[in-house]
A = this chain, B = another copy of it.
Amino acid sequence: MQQSAEKPVLLVALGGNALIQKGQVGTMEEQFENLKRPMAQIARLSQDYRIILTHGNAPQVGNLLLQQECCDAVPHLPLEILVAQTQGQMGYMLESTLDTALMESGLKAAPGLVSLISYVVVDENDPAFRNPSKPIGPSFSSRKASNLPYPTQKTAKGYRRVVASPKPLTIVEKREIRKLIDMDFLVICCGGGGIPVVREGRRFCGVDAVIDKDLASAKLAEEVGVDIFVMATDVEGAALNYGANHQEYLRTMTVAQAQQYLEAEHFPPGSMGPKVEAAMGFAQHTGNRAVITSLHAIKEAVAGGAGTEIISSPAFSTPVPP
């Protein structure tokens, strides 16, 4: 085990599917069971790295929205409050599963393990507010949708509420997180991309929006000074021609190559697109490694043996495929 001062800082962003997998409804048993495998890897990694753990919340916040739609006996809460609720729920689940993983394995726990509520400032003039495009929550019939008090969009599942997904400007708790990392704490934070707020003069105001958790994690990684940024999801990495016969997983790409592939629409918006963008931003601004990998290969990806690595320097890039 390395000494704290020498330990590199690792940020791992867990996809929402770390807790609720495709085809599951999201019982507590399912969520705790799914968490065991990624958390066992985090426990091992915590022996050699100082760790910041972030996570998605799409299925969980969707369930809370669905509950609100069902029930008029209780005041409906704005979206940022539901995001805050999922930070509480998932922070507890991640923290307690990690505690258990450490206790069961006999590994040494970090000097501190905390789950922090995090809020993230966005720009009230972000163009995303004029064009809400992220579908969330339950689906409705066309007639029901036209009577709802918020914008909806037709999707494959029916009409769904769409909300703005503005770019994260800064994580309010970044100084606290940096100090905690300096003390070798393991910090769980920025759940669901953070609670979105705008700054109005000398106050913060919550806004009905959701922030992409990979972009928020990349912003945090830059602001706090992270050495390796890993996004763990349900595929083994970024691929060219994803889903087609000639699909090809990428092992390494430079920021410039990633930009080319993005423009050629190899990485769909709303799934691999934001991950690649988050990795590009981090690699470009810091010169450090960003890796997109599967939930089952976090350890291997950190060691350089799995996933797609995005790097700023062309010196390390693989040749562009034809």
Contact = CB atoms under 8 A, between A and B. Distances in A.
A240 to B, nearest CB: 38
A67 interface: yes
A231 to B, nearest CB: 23
Nearest to A27: B75
A128 interface: no
Nearest to A100: B203
A181 to B, nearest CB: 12
Nearest to A102: B202
Contacts of A112: 175-176, 179
Of A71, A88, A191, most buried by chain B (CB within 10 Å of CB) is A88
Given A28-B81, A204-B96, A176 B114 contact: yes
A235 interface: no
Contacts of A64: 85
Contact of A28 (B73, B75, B85, B173): B75
B185 A176 contact: yes
Contacts of A81: 28, 89, 92-93
Interface stretch (A115-123, A209-217, A264-272, A295-303): A115-123
A254 interface: no
